Chains A and B, each alone.
Chain A
Amino acid sequence: MSRKVLTGIPVSAGVSIGRAYLLNRGHFCLAPIQSVSEELIPQEVERLKDAFDKALEGLRDIRSKVPDEHTEHAAIIDTHIMILKDPKLRRATERYIRDMHLNAEWALEKGVAEIEDSFLAVEDEYFRSRVAEVRMLAQRVMNHLLGHQDFIKPITSRVILVAHDLTPADTVELDVSKIMAFITAQGGKTSHVAIVARTLGIPAVVGVEELEETITDDQFIIVDGLRGVIVVDPDENELGAYSDLKYQFEAYQKEVMHNRHLPAETVDGFRVQLMANIELFEEVSSVIDYAGDGVGLYRTEYSYLHRQKLPSEQELMEEYRDLASILSPKRVIIRTLDAGGDKIGKGFEVLEEANPVLGLRAVRFCLRHRQMFKTQLRAILRASQLGNIALMFPMISGYGELKEVKQLLEEAKEELRNEGYPFDEEIPVGIMVELPSAVMIADILADEVDFFSIGTNDLIQYSLGIDRTNKYVANLYQPLHPALLRSIKHVVDSGHRAGIEVSMCGEMASDPYCLPILLGMQVDSLSLNPQSIPGIKSVLRKLTLDECSELLKRVMESNSVAVSNRLVRDSIFKRFPEELMFYSSLLEEEEE
């Protein structure tokens, strides 16, 4: 019993306090090492076979419980079955019993190690990492050898699940209704467990170092999914503080969700549209659940990925039309393909690009493959009959390029008119402003389009010349850099002077600390993850445009990012001390 604090990546918000339930797997240290005498060898081989059979039976049982529509999960479990049946693994393990007189447990460990060794030389990272699944599966066999009847012991009370990693097979097998939170040693923001936790609305912290070494079964722990902290055997004060935090967070969530249908309007009546960024058609339900004012960014890449053939005009048209009709009369902004040949792959020439981010992608790529581009434009137009679709071009760098894509759009319209297809003749056309060149000529571009959408993620990276995922320069990712604030303000003002709407998508739009700055600039709409909409709306409804304009003015006068960050953090935190403890921010806390 000793108090200990672990940290990891928070991937699903919330606080849980309860007992740990270890999904026991990972290391084989439990296996006793014994030598088997000659006459007992057949018996030992039989014991091994039996354990393999039981493990297989267990997997088949899980497989049969996977609903038909989850073909991905089913395929993963099928692969796991084949790995357990693998003759190479079986032969190696059996050989250790027969030739070296090892007991089944130890032979299994040696057999797995042999397979692992054989994968060391594989150069391809994907293929090399597959071997991790062998050890995970062998643990199932090991459990049977050790006489642990059920692989997953039944969960009788509500628990906090602690695991090395969690596979789709595990989540099928687990009774998720009894799980209060997830903690895993592996994983990142997009791993399976993160998605499951967010769907269930329970806290999760992943990528926790020393997790399995520290936590034991049934231990009392606190999971802070807001900050990525785990407290093992907390003292009384911590327990009290976290109970309060948990209560406050849940009350806050409830209140925020309760008010989600109210308009996104400041106290003094400044109305902003809070739109959703979505990537999959299925996410349309989240837009409705979290009361988005529409879709501010529909990323269309998904339909092009992982397929043998390009999607047909009809297929795309139906997808866009269905989305628009479900959300009608709310606006749906469809962004044309924002990828390069590398992502779409197959069939496109393989380009040797030293720097693909600065290479042939988005409209540049589409203009190189006009037929494919026109198919998408025709599909969007044909889907626009209800009149709530808008079209947006990504990565526009200059006037000539914009004229060229608009020309192609006109050609598509003309074709459809000739073919007798109805479409919205007034379909609004906008561009993503995400390159510094587009920012500089925003006044010129504004005369050519119906709206701007500022893509802050890319704009920050291109403007400051940093890759945010590169840990050596990530500290230079500064949303309040004076250059960026001036850029954003220039775009908003240029748009408004030309009488067009300016919206903003990108992470800044979902950061409550950045919110007053964006409101101060009087953006017309913000587009963010659907799940973040109710929270941002709740902060927004307590702000006044006056205070936002005042704060913006002070920040624009500052010549230091550190000063701006402090200014914004302090003033916003003073206003919302209770709410803001539930959020993390893009604004780094500067070191004094």
Chain B
Amino acid sequence: MLCNVPLSMVQKVNYFDETMTETGTASSQVYIRNELGLHARPAAILAKEAGKFDSTIQLILEDSAVDAKSVLDILSLAAVQGKTITIQAAGPDAQTAVSHLERFFLEGFGEG
């Protein structure tokens, strides 16, 4: 019947070098579970949250990579439900940024 995406579908693949505290890189793959994909509201939430970090953050879908701090960029990805996106960050707070953004995907942007 109703398929709840199991947590195992969200593969956490964190490449984080602990020695690089100043300029780290981190990335994670997330599954888009909310019905309408990364439509205007989740895109705005992501851009707003990404803007809180100093690191440069990219969202990668298939062969396109966009700036996670730009709501327009995110919308231009046209990421629909069921796609897998890679969040990639580079900078002083890369790891925190990736984990922070990852949460929103996990929670389906609070869309019930």
> Which B1-43 residues sit within 8 Å CB-CB of chain A?
1-4, 33-36, 39-41, 43
Q: Does the CB pair A123–B78 fall under 8 Å?
A: yes
Give the interface residue-count category, chain A: 35 or more
Contact of A87 with B70 at beta-carbon distance under 8 Å, contacts A82-B44, A122-B76, A308-B111 already known: yes
- How far in angstroms is the closest Cβ of chain B from A252? 42
Name B69's closest neighbour in chain A (CB-CB).
A87
Q: Does the CB pair B70–A346 fall under 8 Å?
A: no
Query: What chain B residues lie within 8 Å of A115 (beta carbons)?
Result: 72
Most buried by A among B4, B44, B72, B108: B72
Any B CB within 8 A of the CB of A575: no
- How far in angstroms is the closest Cβ of chain B from A210? 30
Q: How far is the CA of A85 from the CA of B2 in the complex (A)?
A: 38
Query: What chain B residues lie within 8 Å of A124 (beta carbons)?
Result: 78, 80
Q: How far is the CA of A128 from the CA of B64 in the complex (A)?
A: 16
Q: Does the CB pair B80–A86 fall under 8 Å?
A: no
Q: How far is the CA of A391 from the CA of B39 in the complex (A)?
A: 37
Q: Does the CB pair A308–B72 fall under 8 Å?
A: no
1/0 contact trace for A134-155 toward B, CB 8 Å? 1000000000000000000000
Any A CB within 8 A of the CB of B89: no
Q: Does the CB pair B2–A310 fall under 8 Å?
A: yes
Quick one: which of A130, A308, A371, A372 contacts B75, CB cutoff 8 A? Answer: A130
Q: Does the CB pair A130–B40 fall under 8 Å?
A: yes
Any B CB within 8 A of the CB of A67: no
Query: What chain A residues lie within 8 Å of B73 (beta carbons)?
Result: 86, 88
Any A CB within 8 A of the CB of B97: no
Any A CB within 8 A of the CB of B67: yes
Quick one: which of B4, B78, B111 contacts A127, CB cutoff 8 A? Answer: B78
- How far in angstroms is the closest Cβ of chain A from B91? 15
Q: How far is the CA of A193 from the CA of B56 in the complex (A)?
A: 40
- How far in angstroms is the closest Cβ of chain B from A34? 27
Name B48's closest neighbour in chain A (CB-CB).
A82
> Which A339-395 residues sit within 8 Å CB-CB of chain B?
345-348, 369, 371-372
A/B pair count, beta carbons within 8 Å: 91
- How far in angstroms is the closest Cβ of chain A from B96? 20
Any B CB within 8 A of the CB of A302: no
Chain B residues bordering chain A, tally (CB within 8 A)? 31
Q: Does the CB pair A347–B78 fall under 8 Å?
A: no
Query: What chain B residues lie within 8 Å of A128 (beta carbons)?
Result: 78
Quick one: which of A75, A122, A307, A310 contacts B41, CB cutoff 8 A? Answer: A75
Q: Does the CB pair B1–A127 fall under 8 Å?
A: no
Q: How far is the CA of A347 from the CA of B43 in the complex (A)?
A: 23
Q: Does the CB pair B76–A119 fall under 8 Å?
A: yes
Name A78's closest neighbour in chain B (CB-CB).
B44
Q: How far is the CA of A85 from the CA of B76 in the complex (A)?
A: 16
Any A CB within 8 A of the CB of B94: no
Any B CB within 8 A of the CB of A79: yes
Q: How far is the CA of A78 from the CA of B77 in the complex (A)?
A: 20
> Which B73-94 residues sit within 8 Å CB-CB of chain A?
73, 75-78, 80-81
Q: Does the CB pair B72–A122 fall under 8 Å?
A: no
Q: How far is the CA of A128 from the CA of B78 in the complex (A)?
A: 8
Q: How far is the CA of A277 from the CA of B36 in the complex (A)?
A: 28
Starting from the known contacts A86-B47, A346-B81, 16 additional A-B residue pairs (CB-CB under 8 Å) come to A78-B44, A79-B40, A82-B43, A82-B44, A82-B48, A83-B44, A85-B47, A123-B78, A126-B78, A309-B4, A310-B2, A346-B2, A346-B3, A347-B1, A369-B1, A372-B1
Point out residues on A near B: beta carbons under 8 Å. 75-76, 78-79, 81-83, 85-89, 115, 118-119, 122-124, 126-128, 130-131, 133-134, 306-310, 345-348, 369, 371-372
Nearest 3 A/B pairs, CB to CB: A347-B2, A127-B78, A79-B44
